[in-house]
Amino acid sequence: MRLADTYRRRVRARALDQYGYVTTEDAADLGVPPLELRKLAARGGLEHVAYGLYRFDDVRRDPARQLHGGRAARRPDAYLSHDAVLALHDLKVSAPQWIRVGTPTGCGLAGPGPSR
């Protein structure tokens, strides 16, 4: 039996490749209107993290991978900044509360850290 192709299945498949994160741009690439992400989040299982960024609750959280995933899911040209870089290289004793992300245009976003 083949499962029906739904908006949730499409964005979840993309999110699995990005450590649970999916953006509105990812959704648009998959033919899913951004409004549908908000609806999916309202129904549960998908968490609104920041502007244009969502995360599936059931994808296992791994601190090192979450640092990469948080950066990659936000923008392809984004980079980790501040204590997130230290945590990535195991140079920080505790996990950061926030993952700081920088961008070349200076409009970085901060999202919840791996300690959640």
Neighbouring CB atoms inside 10 A of 27's CB total 23
How far does CA 63 lie from the centroid of its chain?
Answer: 13
Q: What is the mean pLDDT of residues 28-50?
A: 91
Instruction: Give the pLDDT of residue 116.
Output: 42
Higher per-residue pLDDT: 27 or 90: 27
| Cα–Cα dist 63/42, whole Å | 26
Going by pLDDT thresholds of 50, 70 and 90, the confidence category of residue 28 is: very high
| Cα–Cα dist 11/80, whole Å | 24
Residue 108 has pLDDT above 80, yes or no: no
Instruction: Give the pLDDT of residue 110.
Output: 52
Q: What is the mean pLDDT of residues 2-31?
A: 87
Neighbouring C-alpha atoms within 13 Å toward the C-beta of 104:
3
Parallel/antiparallel/unpaired status of strands 79-81 and 98-102:
antiparallel
How far does CA 108 lie from the centroid of its chain?
Answer: 14
Residue 41 has pLDDT above 90, yes or no: yes
The full set of domain ranges for the chain reads 7-56, 63-112
